Structure 1
């Protein structure tokens, strides 16, 4: 499975394919699920439509993913892992940059990620979401952002990286919510204001 918590939660429920053909089928089912969740949202998406999109029988879908929530949790976990890898890559190339520039690159990274994973918003907003998994994800992301900011030059004041990491994580959640808006011009304007607000605040700390 994707994230460690997702693996622990669903290891018993998801059938792991052993043959190459079975693995290819799971990949196709998950790709179909991602497309349908992105288009319809979690609540409106149906397993029947997902199976049809994958040109698979409904029985084949249920064989690997007995419930819609299990499929959504698997997809969401993989996407969170992909976002986590992006944050790690960003940190590896962050040494010597100002915190304001790092934060701006972080939001640029998030924007690219949301374009590449259009179902992320629907999956993140679904109910129910396992609370323990949600807390673990929040802690992991916050720690990664703090590690990124700790590379800033000039360095942030002692203890400020952790505080700003918590704030930036909340702003990222707001950016995700705004990205789901239907009015593209208004959405882009609000996201630009959000980025500028954070950039200006960090520049004031640096100066």
Structure 2
């Protein structure tokens, strides 16, 4: 590669690093102040750059939120692709709950801006749309997992079971993210215990054996 060809690649790499820096700063500001109260000046200050530098990459706060939201949704989609599997569906119920819940708890605790953005009353429409699409995809995968685990469930019962389980988990997740240390661990245990008590009468407690199972 010639020197002339290398220069644009270096500029592109520097630009990507700056964008990542600004998005990290935005995540911190959105969490601390909420989306509505946040400003581009506060984000630039958090990133340690001038507002002019920020505007080289993003025209306004909404554009920052949309980019941050799209990246977080993509990460979450990658997470659910790893957990809603046939192998997990057949585990003992407590292990199944661990296998599905833990990656989502870990993701949301590491990225509190995700909940801060989607719960903001004035969050950009594209952020809300991305969340709605993700919600629908997660619910579909959960329904498919339940079908593998307990194929004799009536489709209506399976859908309602998935809806209720998902709602319970999301409500508990809010409390988990809001706390730290031992309190967070306590809420995690309680969320899992709640799910176990709800699901056990429908799915059983033990591991499930299937000679052949449909792929979720």
Class of the TM-score when normalised by the shorter of the 2 chains:
0.7 to 0.9
**What's the CA shift for 1:187?**
5.9
| Corresponding position of 1:139 | 136
Task: For 1:58-137, list aligned pairs within 5 A.
Answer: 58-92=51-85, 93-99=87-93, 101-129=95-123, 130=125, 132-137=129-134
Task: For 1:33-52, list aligned pairs within 5 A.
Answer: 33-52=26-45
Q: Retained in 1: the 8 A contact 2:30–2:116?
A: yes
Q: Retained in 1: the 8 A contact 2:147–2:153?
A: no
Q: Give the TM-score of the pair, scaled to structure 1.
A: 0.75
**Which piece of structure 1 moves more, 182-191 or 42-51?**
182-191
Task: For 1:185-204, list aligned pairs within 5 A.
Answer: 189-204=186-201
Output one character per residue of 1:132-187: Cα deviation in whole Å (capped at 9) or x when no partner.
Answer: 444323211211222333342x5461324433222222123212322354687666
Q: Retained in 1: the 8 A contact 2:31–2:116?
A: yes
Structure 1 residues not aligned, in runs of 5+: 1-17
| Corresponding position of 1:54 | 47
Distance 1:87 1:134, change over 3 A: closer
RMSD: 2.7
Q: Greater CA radius of gyration, 1 or 2?
A: 2
**What's the CA shift for 1:72?**
1.7
Q: Retained in 2: the 8 A contact 1:29–1:61?
A: yes
Structure 2 residues not aligned, in runs of 5+: 1-10, 205-216
**Which piece of structure 1 moves more, 196-205 or 141-150?**
141-150
Q: Retained in 2: the 8 A contact 1:32–1:51?
A: yes
Q: Give the TM-score of the pair, scaled to structure 2.
A: 0.73
